[in-house]
A and B are shown apart, each in its own frame.
Chain A
């Protein structure tokens, strides 16, 4: 037994050494925090005294007794639906356009992709200026004789303004992904469809879309998970206001964190986790198979 162990250690220690740093890191920076956070979500803790167990009180509060969280959940869901309802579609349309025989394809692709390379804080700062009262958008609208407003302090427009800026920042990612996927669809498929007399719409519906299916699934899983965690641009552009109309789930979590309500903030984090897990499961379940 002992000798076998020694022999096994001798044989395998190099491999374990190679993975040791990431594995230890994973335990210390991922597993332990994940479990602590689950435990914390059943506690009341301000970070100074030791946590006190409160059972399901945090979860009861977030479900029934925190209208700001409900509001944040609704705002975030609107952000996800409108953002994911438009961003990937712009990405697909621009990829289809760039997949034609055109010049400067790489140049256009670069231009669409540039905002994705830029820090969200910078993007949000630029748009905050464009949306401000004397900003470029109002100047353009005023010049056309259209009504103007303070886009980010008007409760009716603030969330929409944030969504527009976010879609502007992100859809180039989808353009690049979809363009690569389009170019990977074999030409013969299109030629065969042409011989069968399929028109452009039929070719798109029966060749292009099925060819893109796994990528569309991937783009939406990544997109929905990412957008449900929206924080940076809202923090910069509105701070969650006006009247909480743009507060997101992570924004609400963050404000509880800054008030040192660590137990309650952990419960919010786990609810967010549950939402994301559920969405990913449903998407893979309903759109991932059939191949």
Chain B
């Protein structure tokens, strides 16, 4: 009897495990399939896109759509714009947010906590509230349809200052004080001690800012008007108006836009997930 019970429990456990893996695998397929379909469509001849039954494996495989979007359509330019804007936004944001985060965490000055609190309050304000006056401001600065409008407002992030302040708070004061006794200037202390010690935090902020800028859509759409200034998401969205039926080109463009972020994520996964979940685990 005892043996029967144990084997039944083992069988139940095995069944549960199998069901669990089955559910995970089925949902994983559902998550990956649209990506597969994107890449697969981008490699098909246009005539094979909507055939029944669907052609899962492109045959023949053609790279002509990538060539088309890269040379005939301005995707090379979109790609360059996206890279440049995301890189500049990230550099600006990371530098100034770390510097300010250091000041809020480790320096004492009148009004520090009040200024920080007001900054945090602005996190509550949805972007759309500022959008129209910000647009007119860009117009006044003559920044519309230039990189300035694409980069500068995005390089200011209260979230980044908050993140870096929290990170820098954990650096022991003694370390900074001993450098002060040695006569180092505050910027040198920041640059040589605080910044290197907050590298994991900096990496997290850098990834968040880069991804945010790379995927951003509404603001880049309204502040750019010429094809030369569009970023990848804006380019992909707007070309659909003109090439509604050209799915192969659309998917080639989409693959070009999606792959760098997926690559970045696969390479820096640990960093990214730790940054994302730091708040969750601390509580």
Interface residues of A (CB under 8 A from B): 8, 12, 14-16, 18-19, 21-23, 25-26, 28-34, 36-37, 40, 47, 94, 97-98, 100, 102, 106, 108-115, 117-123, 125-130, 132-136, 139, 142-143, 168, 172-173, 176-181, 183-184, 214-215, 218, 225, 229, 231-232, 235-236, 250, 253-254, 257, 262, 265-266, 269-270, 272-273, 276-277, 280
Contact = CB atoms under 8 A, between A and B. Distances in A.
B115 A122 contact: no
Interface string B240-269: 100000010011001001100110111001
Contacts of B100: 18-19, 21-23
A96 to B, nearest CB: 10
8 contacts: A12-B110, A15-B109, A15-B186, A34-B125, A36-B136, A110-B266, A118-B261, A119-B261
Contacts of B23: 97
Tell me which of B49, B125, B129, B276 has the highest count of chain A C-beta atoms within 10 A of its own C-beta. Answer: B129
Given A122-B254, A232-B217, A215 B283 contact: yes
Nearest to B25: A108
Contacts of A143: 53
Given A18-B190, A94-B27, A236 B240 contact: yes
8 A-B pairs with the lowest CB-CB distances in the bound complex, closest first: A134-B50, A180-B277, A33-B133, A119-B215, A18-B103, A36-B133, A121-B233, A33-B130
Interface of B: 20-21, 23-24, 27-28, 30-32, 34-35, 37-38, 41, 49-50, 52-54, 96-97, 99-100, 102-104, 107-110, 112, 115, 119, 122, 124-137, 152-153, 155-156, 158, 161, 185-187, 190, 211, 214-215, 217-218, 222, 232-234, 236-237, 240, 247, 250-251, 254, 257-258, 261-262, 264-266, 269, 273, 276-277, 279-281, 283
Contacts, number: 257
Given A33-B132, A117-B265, A180-B280, 11 more contacts: A14-B186, A22-B158, A33-B130, A94-B24, A102-B24, A109-B273, A121-B237, A125-B251, A168-B34, A180-B273, A280-B124
B277 A177 contact: yes
A27 to B, nearest CB: 10
A109 B97 CA distance: 30
Contacts of B215: 118-121
A276 B128 contact: no
A31 B30 CA distance: 44
Tell me the interface secondary structure of chain A in the complex.
helix
Contacts of B115: 19, 23
Contacts of B155: 25
Contacts of A36: 133, 136
Nearest to A214: B283
B217 A18 contact: no
B14 to A, nearest CB: 13
A142 B211 CA distance: 38
A169 B89 CA distance: 24
B187 A114 contact: no
A238 B71 CA distance: 29
Nearest to B32: A111
A102 B222 contact: no
